[in-house]
Amino acid sequence: MDTKEIKSAISNLEKSSDDVTVLKLLNILNDGVKPSEKLLRETKVGVAVNKFRSHSNSEITSLVKKMIKNWRESVQNEKNSKKKPTPTTDATVKSSSIPSTTDKPNNAAGSTESKFHKGPRDPKTDGVKTSLYENPTRNASVSALYTALAIERDDSSSHILTVATEIESEVFKSQYSQVNDTYRNKLRSFTMNLRNKKNPELRDRLLTRAILPNHFIKMSPNEMAPEGLKKEIEKMHKQNLFDAQGATEKRAVTDRFTCGKCKHKKVSYYQMQTRSADEPLTTFCTCENCGNRWKFS
């Protein structure tokens, strides 16, 4: 995992509240982080993970302690290796400038990642084959999902293709293995949500496995919305609730009115403007004895 991926996973970890998601993200970090003193300082991943050391879930605390211990040992070993004197002969200098065979995959990956930054990614530019099925609509769906997931991402093309394929497969299965109008509409909707440049969180949560495809296809538009929009919706909802509460009329009990049904005088009432502003208020009455209701202006 690079710095950007680690910070993204940390962000999701801090937002997570359920134990299952926390464990998944911790395992992703445990498997993906190759600790170095520089990496730990830049990402502060150790600080973020250590916050779960006293978690109520014993499985989480056990994993966190194991991760912190392993990272601490790796950093210490790194420091110890730097303290050892190294020969400064010409042969050593020359050999150090030549990348080892074990470095080649990483260097290749690095050059590939930098290529991704130069422009938008899609199956064609990434050299990815999306002709996985005999049905061209399914292949087009996988391609569209891949392009949407790859926006502003540095993940490997194979990983993005895996997630895109899983999403398409889940939608296909939900339609009893048929490519019908519902299938097309769902894929179109999911692709549009993922293509939203203001919603990097959704792409990130899918690619870091914080959301699994089988859960993603059941999410509502509100659940997929960007965090900023969710906050706006929540703010509007709270304001509407406040306004509704403010508009609720308080009932008063009086003996000025007589129930036409049981003749009792204990009557609660409230008034509301139901017509134009220049018309009198409408009074709504309820007999506290028999529950009879009536109104008058």
* Structural domain spans, the chain: 3-91, 120-229, 252-296
> Which residues of the chain are modeled with pLDDT < 70?
83-118, 229-234, 237-250, 277
Residue 99's pLDDT is 41
pLDDT in tens, 228-247: 765 666 677 666 665 555 44
Place of tokens 């790859």: 150
Residue 108's pLDDT is 36
Coil, strand or helix: which one is 137?
helix
Residue 230's pLDDT is 58
In angstroms, the Cα distances linking 124 to 121, 129, 146 are: 8, 8, 10
> Residue 208 contacts by C-beta under 8 Å, 6 or more apart in sequence?
5, 8, 9, 12, 25, 28
Residue 206's pLDDT is 95
Q: Are 72 and 36 in contact (CB under 8 A)?
A: no
Q: What is the pTM of this model?
A: 0.44
Residue 3's pLDDT is 86
Residue 242's pLDDT is 59
> Residue 71 contacts by C-beta under 8 Å, 6 or more apart in sequence?
33, 35, 40, 46
In angstroms, the Cα distances linking 71 to 35, 37, 39, 47, 49 are: 6, 9, 11, 12, 11
Place of tokens 């609660």: 268
* CA neighbor of 49 nearest in space, from 73, 66, 74: 66
Coil, strand or helix: which one is 190?
helix
The alpha carbon of residue 54 and the mean position of all alpha carbons in its chain are separated, in whole angstroms, by 25
* CA neighbor of 13 nearest in space, from 23, 1, 5: 23
Q: Which CATH class is domain 252-296?
A: mainly beta
Q: Is 277 exposed, middle or buried (0-12, 13-18, 19+ CB in 10 A)?
A: exposed
Please determine, looking at this structure, whether the domain spanning 3-91 carries the CATH number 1.20.930.10. yes
